[in-house]
A = this chain, B = another copy of it.
Amino acid sequence: MEILQIDDTLSLKRTVDGGTEEQRKAVKAIISEVRAAGDQALRAFTEKFDAVKLDDFRVTEEEILEAYHAVSSAVVEIITEAAANIRTYHEKQLRPSWMTTAENGTMLGQKVTPLDSVGVYVPGGTAAYPSSVLMNVIPAITAGVERIVMVSPPGQDGKLPPGVLVAADIAGVKEIYKVGGAQAIAALAYGTETIKPVDKITGPGNIFVALAKREVFGDVAIDMIAGPSEIGILADDTARANEIAADLLSQAEHDPRACAVLVTTSRTLAENVLDEVYKQLPHLPRKDIATEAIENFGAIYVADDLEEAVGAINQLAPEHLEIVTENPVGLLGKIKHAGAIFLGRYSSEPVGDYFAGPNHVLPTNGTARFSSPLSVEDFQKKSSIILYSEQAMNENGAKIAEFARLEGLEAHARAVEARLK
């Protein structure tokens, strides 16, 4: 990590793993196999990739109870409180169907309908992410989705991590299967004897899961395919170096390809943060990952003034943006591109990862230029409503027919004229 000057070519060094040709072929083969052989294929792949033989994939009531016993009551309380905060925030995103009416009898509007069914992928492996369960499931439930199916790869004991099961139960999931990888995505997209297909698949996963989501995209909807985590911090000389460094490192520990960038108007802060990063780094359990991220994808930029600093941030379009300046709210209107914006000293990024309420599924890799956080709207769709009255048709029919003929579509014109006297 070093201190750099801002120039026109400023950009986050980013890298997205698109997978190898071999991985793509493997994923395609797994999907075909699941489509052809259903549950039998799921069993075979689970034995092969997760090293466990399962007859029944569905998580039972007993397993949920066991999970509650395996975690402390403090953890249950924290997950419950986090879930309540996430629910409260996402309920604010609900928008009603609406209509307008005109005196001639016309009614126009938009009907909002929840998706019928959604599949949520929860990654397995060494880490368990109850927060990922909450952040994907709660918006779907809030949207009114009736059937939510969770899938996650089992451990070698044939079980899912208790924190994940408790989070799923608190969030309100009733249908959980112990299956992971590309085979789980295939099952969600096309169905098997046990798992009925869904309309949309969300949730993070490894490269095989990401490639499988790309592959089934179109037959079902998918959420964005996330790149490595990113943080951009905009700070002036009121910021504390140890806190800024800790926040940069909290992103860096996620992934060796995570991005952590500070843009500051204060050279002193820049230098102190650089020192602090290398002071705190060696004491982190995930220091190997964090070091790789900081060295390859970390940077500190010094800006001449706040205007230039804000310009740099908009150019970076980071997934997470912290503004730690004298008047962070005053800068909000200038920020154009960021997935989530954390304002002020106490809005450390992990506050948003787990607890505050907004979603932690955010656009990465510069897509904050055109994408939004995961929301209730991702689990609903709209239908336009058009009701034309006889009077409206008599007033406008001839014009509509003329427009159709301008475009060379005679049958359109005649369909309208069939209603005219």
- Given A346-B388, A348-B419, A411 contacting B286 (CB threshold 8 A): yes
Q: 0/1 per residue, A386-400, Cβ < 8 Å to B?
A: 111110110010011
B372 touches A381 (CB 8 A): yes
Interface residues of A in 365-391 (CB under 8 A from B): 367-373, 375, 377, 381-390
Q: How many copies does the complex hold?
A: 2
Q: Is the interface of A mostly helix, strand, loop or mixed?
A: mixed
| The one of B246, B332, B350, B410 that contacts A385, using a Cβ cutoff of 8 Å | B332
A130 touches B336 (CB 8 A): no
Binds B, one of A27-35, A46-54, A73-81, A187-195: A73-81
| The one of B113, B354, B392, B409 that contacts A253, using a Cβ cutoff of 8 Å | B409
B250 touches A414 (CB 8 A): yes
Q: Which B residues are CB-close (under 8 A) to A184?
A: none
A416 touches B359 (CB 8 A): no
Taking the closest CB of chain B, its distance from the CB of A360, in whole angstroms, is 9
A221 touches B387 (CB 8 A): no
- Given A127-B408, A348-B418, A339 contacting B384 (CB threshold 8 A): yes
Closest B residue to A408 by beta carbon equals B127
| The one of B82, B200, B249, B400 that contacts A403, using a Cβ cutoff of 8 Å | B82
Is the C-beta of A284 less than 8 angstroms from some C-beta in chain B?
A: yes
A106 touches B356 (CB 8 A): yes
A343 touches B386 (CB 8 A): yes
Is the C-beta of A330 less than 8 angstroms from some C-beta in chain B?
A: no
Is the C-beta of A206 less than 8 angstroms from some C-beta in chain B?
A: no
On A, residues with C-beta under 8 Å from B are 74-75, 78-79, 81-82, 89, 92-93, 95, 98, 100, 106-108, 110-111, 113, 115-116, 126-131, 163, 199-200, 218, 220-221, 240, 242-243, 246-247, 249-250, 252-254, 280, 284-286, 290, 321, 328-329, 332, 335-359, 362-363, 367-373, 375, 377, 381-390, 392-393, 396, 399-404, 406-416, 418-419
